[in-house]
Structure 1
Amino acid sequence: MRIAIPHSLERDEARRRLREKTSQAALKADGMATVTTEFVDDDHLKMAVGAMGYTVDCAVEITDSELVVDVDIPASLGFAKRMIEGLIRDKSAKFLT
């Protein structure tokens, strides 16, 4: 699934905020999930979120006008696709605030 989250920040500011907030992602999961993050380069982040026996891999790209999140949702979670998309939109937007 590909999700675009628009932003109006300068790219450098979007990078700074994303780096700052993703370092806190595991703490914010509050023990409900495991979150690992790794910046591949300045504009690309890999994330893995594990919860309830599932691991969902994500790739995030920072562009001049949006964050583009590619999510690999296991077929067994297809029923929760809309809920997962809503969570990603909400959490990704908060990364940039």
Structure 2
Amino acid sequence: MTKPLVVSIPHSLGRDEAMRRLKTGLTRAASSVPMLSVDEERWEDNRMIFRVRALGQGAAGHVDVADDHVQVEVVLPWLLQRFAEAAQAAIRSRGQLLLTKK
């Protein structure tokens, strides 16, 4: 089994506001990336469990929302591991956009 890709994103919104933003953010973020689709997105308390598909490959993970940070863990299939660094940067960038105070 491969190690999960882990991204921690700090925020100052508090857990409730961060969760509110994230609940609309995954599907919207996926729609802006043509090769990415969301197969599953469900919430259990402050954890979002998801499955996405890119380049015909599935990936699964979860997002834990805390008062001051969000931690994303995703297990990439072998083919997508080649893009792990780019995926990590994209997750961090899009996450920061969602969690920046407006």
TM-score range, shorter chain: 0.7 to 0.9
Residue in structure 1 matching 2:68, options 62, 65, 68: 65
How many correspondences in the alignment?
96
Question: What secondary structure does 1:21 align onto?
Answer: helix
Question: What secondary structure does 1:81 align onto?
Answer: helix
Alpha-carbon RMSD: 1.9
Structure 2 gaps of 5+ residues are none
1:6 is aligned to 2:19: no
Query: Structure 2: how far apart are the matches of 1:77 and 1:23?
Result: 20
Letter in structure 1 aligned against 2:55: M
Task: Report the TM-score when normalising by structure 2.
Answer: 0.78
Task: Report the TM-score when normalising by structure 1.
Answer: 0.81
Structure 1 gaps of 5+ residues are none
Letter in structure 2 aligned against 1:6: P
